[in-house]
Amino acid sequence: QRANKGLAKLVGKNLTDIIGQKCYKLLHDIDHVPKFCLRPLLVKTFSYQSNELWEPHLNRYLQINCYPIIGAKKEVREVIHVIRDITERQKTLQELEYLASVVRHSQDAIISTDLNCQITSWNKAAERIFGYDGKEAVGNYMDIIIPEEQRKKCQLFVEEIGEGGGIENYETTRKTKDGKSIDVDLTLSPIKESEGDIIGVSFIARDVTYQKQLEAKLIQAQKMESIGTLAGGIAHDFNNLLMGIQGYASLMLLKTDPLHPHYEMLRKIEEQVQSASDLTKQLLGFARGGRYETKPTNFNELIHRSSEMFGRTKKEIVIHSKLEKDLWTVEVDQGQMEQVLLNLYVNAWHAMPGGGNLYLETSNVTLNESYVKPYDLEAGNYIKISVTDTGIGMDKKTKQRIFDPFFTTKEMGRGTGLGLASVYGIITNHKGIITVYSEKDYGTKFNIYLPVCEKAITPPTRIVSDKILKGAETILLVDDEEQVIDTTKQMLEYMGYMVLSARGGKEALVLYQDNRDRIDLVILDLIMPGTNGGEVYNQMKALNPDVRVILSSGYSLNDEASEVFKRGANAFIQKPFSIVELSYKIREVIDGISLSPMHM
């Protein structure tokens, strides 16, 4: 009946054209009263009615307010419709709801404060990261999550933003409700009211503790790999030198009467060579690729054997063992693992100068993906070995460097600093994990995790003897070091063998091609300039698929040697080796039996 220009503008028509039209046709472009029409309810209740709706016909959000005009007979004579276009308001509300949803579901803590750092909002991620719920945090001050030493820096940034400064971003530390320190990436930005005045500060904090831990592990791994490569190279060259000393001393002993005054001196030289060799084994244990001679093992037996030996010599240490009865099998180098255990025992002994307790424990565990991911290892079944002492413990600075090679807390002359470095290297090379927990004055706990294997344990055949085994076969000796060829050749000749020698890979291939029908065994140095041992083996294998080869190296059995083994090499012997060790290794390969000399 009546309408104003505002309605005409809303529906896009002239005022004269809309007078007399049905409101549902005009507003909703339909020919019947819609279900959401407010008039029936208004007539029934005689009261004001209101509704908000999206009108696709007009492409607008509308707020429809209906007011009744009551007649003299108490009837609704007319209805006044007040229609407001609330499209912009609804869009603003939707944007606000969207932003609120982003804040609610953000994985980053989003916190707002006034310029006095009093908290005015606190999202769900802030609750998860810092441990305070919204009721605890809102109204409190940011000091609840800022360590005391960081508060001044944060306040300066807030003051700078309040004075018109821009966005600030930096990495820092914050504290949680339970007092734990975490690393965060923090962004501060101004909160402005409609007139542009700064009324507060927005804090967006991302927990980067895990990323920081990964970065630290990566840096540690890269450092260890670099130093390990250097250490391995030094040990290899040193072992070649020791091979010459070992060989000449052994040969002189064979030709010297035990009653001769020089005999004991030569024995001392051999002992010193063995001590030096043990030192290079520590280096190689730390060095990348130092694992060798792995076999399925019950780790409990290694602990029994090593702890009994250690306990006999260190009576002031009380050893407590709690070993898993059905411990899973692992594939390890038993000699290196005994070295790991003894190094940990000795470390504990040094930490308990007045005596104390040493706890040894094993268990079966399953490590999930999140635990092994920082170590770049596979999730699955592992055994856990724990070595715990009640000693003096370590501070944080010492603990950070405990696995560094040549780092030691002992006084000059009382340690090489290689013990725990070699432990780290050996465990890492076995695709294992080692962690350390320590508190000053409260002791230290080392945890080792080693992956399990499905292979069965087979006991070795051992012969207790210092006897030199002899033979009459023809052996091709290949090495690039003159003194190694000279001493090893004399050892072989003493054992009765016919020896052909080649200094380098090319010369070896020529000799083998001309004499392969009479060569029974090749002793092949793995690391040589030019044509290396692996290439020489491949070409010999092509000439004679049945060629028998003992690989020899100043390195332990690393990845390269393992690859040659996969292609058919028969055995490995590490320099410096004794004449007895060499004699047994040769007979093992030629005769096809398992022998292991054990010196008494």
Q: Is 87 helix (H, G, I), strand (E, B) or coil?
A: helix
- Of 213, 217, 276, nearest to 428 (Cα)? 217
- Of 207, 182, 198, 206, nearest to 116 (Cα)? 198
**Model confidence over 236-294: pLDDT tens digits?**
777 778 888 888 888 888 888 888 888 888 888 888 887 777 667 666 655 544 555 68
What's the CA gap between 199 and 116, in Å, rounded?
10
User: Span 355-379, mean pLDDT?
Assistant: 92
Is-same-fold flag (5-91; 106-207)? yes
Looking at 3.30.450.20, 1.10.1060.10, 3.40.50.720, 3.10.20.340, the CATH number of the domain 106-207 comes to 3.30.450.20
DSSP 407-472: --SSPTTS--S-HHHHHHHHHHHTT-EEEEEEETTTEEEEEEEEEB--PPP-PPP-B---PPP---
Q: Looking at domain 474-591, what is its CATH homologous superfamily?
A: Response regulator (3.40.50.2300)
**Model confidence over 414-428: pLDDT tens digits?**
344 456 877 888 898
310-319, 367-376, 480-489, 561-570, range with the lowest pLDDT: 561-570
User: Which tokens belong to 348?
Assistant: 């504990």
Q: Is the pLDDT of residue 575 over 90?
A: no
User: How many helices (DSSP H) and strands (DSSP E) are in the chain?
Assistant: 20, 20
Range 5-91: architecture per CATH: 2-Layer Sandwich (3.30)
pTM: 0.49
How much is the pLDDT for 419? Answer: 61
Q: Is 199 helix (H, G, I), strand (E, B) or coil?
A: strand
How much is the pLDDT for 478? Answer: 95
**CA distance readout (Å), 30 to 27, 34, 39:** 8, 8, 16
The domain spans of the chain are 5-91, 106-207, 291-451, 474-591
- Strands 380-389 and 443-451, how do they pair? antiparallel
CATH number of 291-451: 3.30.565.10
User: Which tokens belong to 27?
Assistant: 């507003």
Q: How confident is the model at residue 193 (pLDDT cuts 50, 70, 90)?
A: confident
Q: Is the pLDDT of residue 595 over 50?
A: yes
Q: Is the pLDDT of residue 81 over 80?
A: yes
Q: Which residue has the higher pLDDT, 408 or 302?
A: 302
User: Span 480-503, mean pLDDT?
Assistant: 92
Q: What is the mean pLDDT of the chain?
A: 84
